[in-house]
Amino acid sequence: MKPLLAVSVVLCLSFYTVQAGHPEKNAEGFVTIFDGKDLSGIRTEGNWKIQEDGSLYLSPREGETDWTRYNHYIWLKEKYGDFTFDFEYKHGKGGNSGLYFRCSDTIDPTKSGFEVQIIDSTGKADAAMGHHDLGGIIKTKGASKNKSKAPGEWNRMTVTMKGNQLTVVLNGEIIQDFDLAAAKEKGKELPAEGYISIQDHGVPFWVRNLQVKRL
C-alpha cells in the first residue's frame, strides 16, 4: 500500500471510530436524567431502587414476571422529537427490557411508540439477529450485528432520532442506521415527537448514567 493511501485509510477508520462512539458524560448539550442519586428527572414507581453504586435497579415483586407486572417503566418527563439518548444497562441470564421512544402516550408504549429491544442474545450469530433480538427494532428490523456482552456486564447504548433517521450504537458500534418511517410496521404511525421510556419486563434489570440531548 502506498504511504499516502495508507494515511487516507487510517484517517477514514479513525473518523468512523469517532462517529460510531458514544458521547462523553456531560457532553455539550446533554442533560443528566439520572445521576445515581436524584430521581427528579424521571417518572417511575416503586420497583426501581437506587443502589449504593449509583445504579437504578428494577426488582420485580412477588407475582411479577414477563407480562404479568405493574408496568413500572422509567419515563422521561418531557416529550422529545429529535434527540440522542445515552445510557448504560445490565441484566442477568435471560434478561429482557427495551428502550421506547416517540411514544405518543404512556398508557400503552408498545402500541404507541417504537422499541429498541434489550434482551439476552448471548452467543447468537450476527446473521441470525432478528427484530426480537438485542438491538432489534420490534416488528421492523434486526440489528446488523450481535454486540451482546455476557450477562452481568454493563452495556452502553446510544439511540439517536433525527427526523426519520434512527441510529443505534451499542458497545461502540453502529448496529442500526436507517429511515424508520420507510421501514416501520405497516399501518403504524411515526409521531414527530413522543416520550422516552425504559421498560419494566418483570425481571431484574439495572441502568445508570442516563443522559439526553435535544437535536
In DSSP notation, 90-148 reads EE-TT-EEEEEEEES-SS-HHHHSEEEEEE--TT--GGG--TTSTT-BTTTB--SS--P
- pLDDT level of residue 105 (50, 70, 90 thresholds): confident
pLDDT at 189 over 50: yes
pTM for the full model? Answer: 0.87
3-class DSSP state of 68 = strand
pLDDT (tens digit per residue) in 152-184: 999 999 999 999 999 999 999 999 999 999 998
Q: How far apart are CA 150 and CA 93, in angstroms?
A: 8
Model pLDDT, residue 122: 96
Model pLDDT, residue 151: 97
> Is the model more confident about 123 or about 46?
123
CATH code linked to domain 24-214: 2.60.120.560
Locate cell 495508507: which residue?
A: 6
pLDDT at 45 over 80: no
Integer CA distances (angstroms), 82 to 15, 25, 140, 194, 213, in order: 23, 19, 20, 10, 9
Q: Residue 68: CB partners within 8 Å, gap ≥ 6?
A: 202
User: Which contiguous run of DSSP H or E holds residue 160?
Assistant: strand 155-162
> Is the model more confident about 151 or about 105?
151
Domain assignments of the chain as residue spans, ordered by start: 24-214
